[in-house]
Structure 1
Amino acid sequence: MIPSYLSALGMLAGAVVALSLTGVVAALRGWRPAAHVVRPGRVRGRLVRAVEELPPGWRDNYRLLLAGGAGTGALTWAVTGWPAHGLLAFATVAGLPFILYPGGSSRTEVARLEAIAEWLQQLASVRAGGKPLESTIVGLNTVPAVLERPVGRLAGRLSSGMPAREAYRALADDLASRIGDDISQLFMDHVTSRGPGLARALSAQASLVARQAADLRDIDAERAKARSEARRVSLFAITVVTVILINGSYSKPFATPLGQLGLLVLGVLFVASLLWLRHMAVMEEEPRTLLTAEERAKQKESGAA
């Protein structure tokens, strides 16, 4: 029979597993925390971005991996009778793709920038024939897959009769980046001036974005070696810990309440080191030039007050 303090520890570990699984699934479904608790979109954005950086096979099946991790953790807990073992098993399975691909990657951002450059060049080519910008955006048949969602929303807004300036401002919210702000500002300036040089401006902007994508690709290639070393060290550490926990004589120190606590602390430190590595590898985003939707809402509220 398991003592009461072990039962309490087990319930605590189970709650952590449940909260972790619920939080990840909720984030992947687009759940947004309350604005007064945490800055809107920050936690969700980081988590979703980390999952999107994974290779397609891992990314598309990550929810199944979470379910498998929960089952593995529950089975490990039931077999060993120790909650920390189950929690670490869940964390290992759920974090496996991030261990295999540590430190993040700029490949997703490179693909995004290349898609933006391609789209801008398409607009420049059609616009050179004298077609209005709004009609060009709505009538463009081929859009890079990465941009299908934001460009589709923009075309839908323009088709529904929304004022062009407001539709372009909403595009900045969808792209949520400095380059998105620059593109939206270019479109909004054209609404005001309706000048003849838009095609040249679009082509120049496309060339600038393409150069940014090339520079980012070179930086990401330089960081690949460091990520490879981190992957080998992480897999070696997990293998050693697994062998220790499977071997009865080696795992005795962890078969106590204090040992379970120590094991959890070691696991947390290991995860924290991986998160620190990923944070250090991610390039700082350029500051945006346009206010976000939340900032505009706050500005209206303060003005009304």
Structure 2
Amino acid sequence: MSLSYLSFLGMGAGAACAFGGAGLIAVARGWQPAASRSRGAGLRGRAARAVAELPSGWRDNYRLLLAAAGVAGAVTWAVTGWPVHGLLAAAIVAGLPFILHPGGSGRAEIARLEALAEWLQQLASVRAGGKPLEATIIALDTVPALLRREVGSLAGRLSSGVPARSAYRALADDLGDRVGDDIAQLFMDHVTSRGPGLARALAAQATLVARQAADLRDIDAERAKARSEARRVSLFAIAVVGAILLNGSYAAPFATPLGQLGLVALAALFVLALVWLRRMAEMDAEPRTLLPADQRRGSNGREGAVG
């Protein structure tokens, strides 16, 4: 019975070490966590979004933290002789930024809205001089850092001859939310009408987006106390677990195959509680007004099949 438990735990810990080794190889090859705002379902997409929502210092170096987590897990397993101890050490190191910065999605959204408002105001200022919108987007070199990827892609499409309407629709997919759809729709309406009031419309849209950012900042400030409490409780729990596992007499009940399984269950419950708290703090995204690219392709394919 004991041998069966140990075999099961050994396979799980071996898989964790394999992932850690893969992380080390990825680091050596220059891998970086995806910063895409894709709304795709699945654990991988949610993990990528969670990493992208971390403060820049953690986000930019998270690949190194994953490598450190793999090393910490392997060393802890080798020293204690128990695989779950190694798994817990790896999980604590990899999850540290999420514990120190719970509910990062709100702050990331605020910063992104502020960047959009700044970009729109820049476009309005240049457009007021009579320069065409497409030329303004291509020539503008003071794009906020948070939008350089999306705006750079848009400028590249316009420079390469992609029709303006298609380029703006692609921008909506790159931004991937209701605000991005509103901005893209404004641009596409201008392609159709070429009216003289674009500068005023851009400035009005910038004001609206800035107001949304300010409202979110007020909400985020009200939630700061709850996040601080969650951070303190989480760090205290980790400290207690560490003290227990490092103390021989206290750790004795967990130094058995059955104790290892119990430790896995307790750790899983702790992680689920943190995820649940994070989900409670997230605000539901407004529904998009423009169909994403994959849904448009599916719709066109069905129409073609019917025709």
Same topology, TM > 0.5: yes
Corresponding position of 2:213? 213
Instruction: Verify: 1:7 aligned to 2:7, yes or no.
Output: yes
Corresponding position of 2:151? 151
Deviation at 1:57, TM superposition (A): 2.2
Deviation at 1:239, TM superposition (A): 1.0
- Structure 1 counterpart of 2:243, one-letter code: V
1:86-235 mapped onto 2 (5 Å cutoff): 86-235=86-235
In the alignment, the residues of structure 1 paired with residue 290 and residue 162 of structure 2 have an alpha-carbon distance, to the nearest angstrom, of: 20
1:20-39 mapped onto 2 (5 Å cutoff): 29-30=33-34
The answer on whether the counterparts of 1:105 and 1:220 sit within 8 Å (CA) in structure 2 is no
In the alignment, the residues of structure 1 paired with residue 247 and residue 133 of structure 2 have an alpha-carbon distance, to the nearest angstrom, of: 68
Task: Tell me the secondary structure at the aligned position of residue 141 of structure 1.
Answer: coil
The answer on whether the counterparts of 2:32 and 2:60 sit within 8 Å (CA) in structure 1 is no
Instruction: Verify: 1:256 aligned to 2:252, yes or no.
Output: no
The answer on whether the counterparts of 1:17 and 1:70 sit within 8 Å (CA) in structure 2 is yes
Single out whichever of 100-109 and 57-66 deviates more from structure 2. Answer: 100-109
Corresponding position of 1:299? 299
Deviation at 1:49, TM superposition (A): 2.6
1:20-78 per-position Cα deviation (integer Å, ceiling 9, x unaligned): 8869x79955599xxxxxx8465444323322332222222111111111111111111
1:71-113 per-position Cα deviation (integer Å, ceiling 9, x unaligned): 1111111111111111111101111111111233422211111
Please report the TM-score for the alignment, with normalisation by the length of structure 1. Answer: 0.91
In the alignment, the residues of structure 2 paired with residue 44 and residue 122 of structure 1 have an alpha-carbon distance, to the nearest angstrom, of: 35
Indicate how the Cα distance of structure 1 residues 17 and 304 shifts in structure 2: closer, same or farther if over 3 A, else same: farther
The answer on whether the counterparts of 2:72 and 2:90 sit within 8 Å (CA) in structure 1 is yes
RMSD (Å), alpha carbons: 2.4
Corresponding position of 1:49? 49
Deviation at 1:18, TM superposition (A): 3.8
- Structure 2 counterpart of 1:88, one-letter code: L
In the alignment, the residues of structure 2 paired with residue 102 and residue 14 of structure 1 have an alpha-carbon distance, to the nearest angstrom, of: 30
Task: Tell me the secondary structure at the aligned position of residue 76 of structure 1.
Answer: helix
Indicate how the Cα distance of structure 1 residues 44 and 204 shifts in structure 2: closer, same or farther if over 3 A, else same: farther
In the alignment, the residues of structure 2 paired with residue 7 and residue 15 of structure 1 have an alpha-carbon distance, to the nearest angstrom, of: 12
Residue identity (%): 72
Corresponding position of 2:266? 266
Task: Tell me the secondary structure at the aligned position of residue 120 of structure 1.
Answer: helix
Deviation at 1:196, TM superposition (A): 1.3
Deviation at 1:128, TM superposition (A): 1.6
Indicate how the Cα distance of structure 1 residues 45 and 4 shifts in structure 2: closer, same or farther if over 3 A, else same: closer
In the alignment, the residues of structure 2 paired with residue 266 and residue 71 of structure 1 have an alpha-carbon distance, to the nearest angstrom, of: 23
Deviation at 1:119, TM superposition (A): 0.9
- Structure 2 counterpart of 1:91, one-letter code: A
Corresponding position of 1:73? 73
In the alignment, the residues of structure 1 paired with residue 282 and residue 108 of structure 2 have an alpha-carbon distance, to the nearest angstrom, of: 12
The answer on whether the counterparts of 2:33 and 2:48 sit within 8 Å (CA) in structure 1 is no
The answer on whether the counterparts of 1:103 and 1:274 sit within 8 Å (CA) in structure 2 is no
Deviation at 1:161, TM superposition (A): 0.9
How many residue pairs were aligned? 298
Deviation at 1:304, TM superposition (A): 2.1
Single out whichever of 122-131 and 201-210 deviates more from structure 2. Answer: 122-131
The answer on whether the counterparts of 1:120 and 1:206 sit within 8 Å (CA) in structure 2 is yes
- Structure 1 counterpart of 2:214, one-letter code: A
In the alignment, the residues of structure 2 paired with residue 233 and residue 207 of structure 1 have an alpha-carbon distance, to the nearest angstrom, of: 39
The answer on whether the counterparts of 2:20 and 2:67 sit within 8 Å (CA) in structure 1 is no
Corresponding position of 2:61? 61
- Structure 1 counterpart of 2:167, one-letter code: A
1:159-211 per-position Cα deviation (integer Å, ceiling 9, x unaligned): 11111100110100111110000010111111111111111111110000000
- Structure 1 counterpart of 2:130, one-letter code: G
Deviation at 1:14, TM superposition (A): 2.4
Corresponding position of 1:36? none
Task: Tell me the secondary structure at the aligned position of residue 114 of structure 1.
Answer: helix
Single out whichever of 161-170 and 6-15 deviates more from structure 2. Answer: 6-15
Moved over 3 A (4+): 2-5, 16-23, 25-32, 39-45
Which stretches in structure 1 are left out of the alignment for 5+ residues? 33-38
Task: Tell me the secondary structure at the aligned position of residue 286 of structure 1.
Answer: coil
Deviation at 1:284, TM superposition (A): 1.0
- Structure 2 counterpart of 1:296, one-letter code: R
In the alignment, the residues of structure 1 paired with residue 123 and residue 136 of structure 2 have an alpha-carbon distance, to the nearest angstrom, of: 7
